[in-house]
Amino acid sequence: MTTVRQAAPAAIERVTIELGERSYPIVIGPGLLGDTAAVQSLVTARDLLIVTNETVAPLYLEAAQRALGPGRRTSTVVLPDGETYKTLESVSRIFDALVDARLNRDAAVVALGGGVIGDMAGFAAACYQRGIDYVQMPTTLLAQVDSSVGGKTAVNHPQGKNLIGAFHQPRCVIADTRTLDTLPVREYRAGLAEVVKYGLIYDAAFFEWLDAHAEALVQREDAAVMRAIRRSCEIKAQIVAEDEREHGLRAILNLGHTFGHAIETATGYGEWLHGEAVAAGMVLAADLSTRLGWLPAADRDRAVRLLERFGLPVAAPRIGATQARELMGMDKKVLGGRLRLVLLRSLGAAEVVADYDADALREVLEAHFG
Ligand code: NAD
Ligand code: GLY
């Protein structure tokens, strides 16, 4: 008798975003795009527009089409790759494709790619015929731990990141962790910046775990990567369920982002990856938190060291404190003329603060931006 050795079934993790009747699952696992039954049970619309880009299409478009199954009417739009194309013009191309395919309100958009594709496809879905469904199929680490989850969609304006957008939750998130195998190392590291963010803002024990498993994560060991993605999604799910529209708590997800957006805008979108700018931005936020007497210097230094071990930039570009402050003024966290900042009360606890010492901010900007 021949013994057929069967591989153990790959672990599939499921996290739910609890938003009443708009609740949805995040399904995470290696090889999900090859699991036709799983994908078909998650995606119910018959008419679909897959939005992807010219880098991701040759890698995963065929697998996504196969997984979605033959019994549907599926069109595709392939956009140019890059943050510089995260524009209204690109979204307009998605609208054209929706109209050309005569898609109606019961159709759904499928975002196959990283955060740039997810943000644009989601925004197009939010607007087309006043809102149709969409599904996230994130293929970067950053998209799997952050941008595909939570319903923020947007495009950039030349004067500011993500200035034009909408809240629109996806129907589900299908994160095939095998797609990370083809992700360039710089992009993978950029995703790790957002993973570190979750530890810093919400979960000191997760930060400790990241510190202890940094090498396994750098080596992209399956078990460590799965755990990091699942815990990141759990934390984001809890925060979004509590404050979907960012009236308060959700803003802590933007640790380092106000500084980071200034870096991205000043250097021209695309030169610094979003995750890299967030890493350098988190160093500024941690440093300001320390100067204000909140975060012990030793914890700030641990955060900086972990980012360094992940190969992330911890020094901001010398764009000048004045320009940086000006660009930060375009951030969506300005309220009543006052720039609110996400700062760390301690490792694992963030707060949105408006009444910080303005001199301390100026000192930090001068120290890091020149
Ligand atoms: P990205 O979408 O530009 O993807 C990074 C690069 O990797 C691109 O060149 C892409 O084509 C390529 N790529 C994607 N998947 C690949 C794969 N599996 N193999 C090989 N190459 C692959 O960048 P990103 O880091 O995924 O996302 C950044 C964007 O996300 C920014 O625009 C940021 O503003 C946005 N964002 C949004 C939210 C949100 O809540 N909506 C949160 C965080 C970030
Ligand atoms: N990335 C910030 C948020 O989703 O709120």
Ordered DSSP codes for 164-193: EEEE---SEEEEEGGGGGGS-HHHHHHHHH
Task: pLDDT band for 142, please (50, 70, 90 cuts).
Answer: very high
Band (pLDDT 50/70/90 cuts) for residue 329 is confident
Catalytic residues: 130, 152, 194, 236, 246, 250, 254, 257, 261, 274
Q: Residue range 103-126: average pLDDT?
A: 98
Q: Which ligand is nearest to the CA of 153?
A: 1
pLDDT of residue 161: 83
What is the b/e burial string over 328-365, where b = at least 16 CB atoms within 10 angstroms of the residue's CB?
A: bebbbbeeeeebbbbbbeebbbbbbbeebeeebbeebb
With bands split at pLDDT 50, 70 and 90, how would you rate the model's confidence at 268? confident
pLDDT at 1 over 80: no
Mutate to test the pocket of ligand 2, among 198, 253, 264 (most ligand atoms within 8 A of CB): 253
DSSP state of 9: P
Q: What is the mean pLDDT of residues 284-301?
A: 98
Is a pLDDT exceeding 60 seen at residue 167?
A: yes
Please check whether residue 369 is in contact with residue 321, taking contact to mean a CB–CB distance below 8 angstroms: yes
Residues 6+ apart with CB under 8 A from 62: none
Residue 307's SS3 state is helix
Mean pLDDT value across residues 17-44: 96
Please write the tens of the pLDDT for every residue from 181-240. 999 999 999 999 999 999 999 999 999 999 999 999 999 999 999 999 999 999 999 999
User: Is 199 within 8 Å of 348 (Cβ atoms)?
Assistant: yes
> Sign of dihedral through CA atoms 311, 315, 318, 321?
positive
DSSP state of 23: -
Which one of 52, 123, 142, 271 would you pick to mutate in the ligand 1 pocket, going by the greatest count of ligand atoms within 8 A of its CB?
Answer: 142
Mean pLDDT of 355-370: 95
In the reported structure, the alpha carbon of residue 253 is separated from the centroid of ligand 2 by a whole-number distance in angstroms of: 5
Q: Does 146 contact ligand 2 (Cβ within 6 A)?
A: yes
Name the residue with higher pLDDT: 110 or 339: 110
Q: What is the pTM of this model?
A: 0.95
Query: How remote is the CA of residue 113 from the centroid of ligand 1, in Å?
Result: 7
Residue 260 pLDDT exceeds 80: yes
Confirm or reject: Cβ of 203 under 6 Å from ligand 2: no
Is the predicted pLDDT of residue 158 greater than 90, yes or no? no
Cα 84 to Cα 359: distance, rounded to the nearest angstrom: 34
Q: Where are the beta strands (DSSP E) in the chain?
A: 13-17, 24-29, 47-53, 73-79, 108-113, 133-138, 152-157, 160-167, 172-176, 334-335, 338-339, 341-346, 349-353
**Ligand 2 within 6 A of CB of 154:** no
Ligand 2 atom closest to 254 (CA): 2
Alpha-carbon torsion (194, 170, 30, 240), positive or negative: positive
Q: Which pLDDT does position 3 carry in this prediction? A: 44
The residue to mutate among 254, 257, 274, 332, having the most atoms of ligand 2 within 8 angstroms of its beta carbon, is 254
Instruction: Tell me the pLDDT band of 331, cut-offs 50, 70 and 90.
Output: low
Q: Give the Å distance between the CA of 4 and the centre of ligand 2.
A: 46
Q: Is the CB of 176 under 6 A from ligand 2?
A: no
- Residue 156 CA to ligand 2 center (angstroms) comes to 15
Q: Which atom of ligand 1 is nearest to the CA of 161?
A: 34
Please answer whether residues 159 and 282 qualify as being in contact, where contact means their C-beta atoms are separated by less than 8 angstroms.
Answer: no
Residue-level pLDDT at 286: 98
| Residue 54: other Cβ atoms inside 10 A | 11
Q: Rounded to 5 degrees, what angle do the CA atoms 64, 65, 66 make? A: 90
Residue 30: alpha-carbon gap to chain centroid = 19
Q: Which domains does the chain have, with CATH numbers?
A: 9-181 (3.40.50.1970), 185-369 (1.20.1090.10)
At 69 the pLDDT is 87
Look at residue 2 in the predicted model and tell me its pLDDT.
Answer: 41
Tell the residue nearest (CA) to atom 38 of ligand 1.
147
Number of Cβ within a 10 Å radius of residue 213? 17
Q: What is the mean pLDDT of the chain?
A: 94
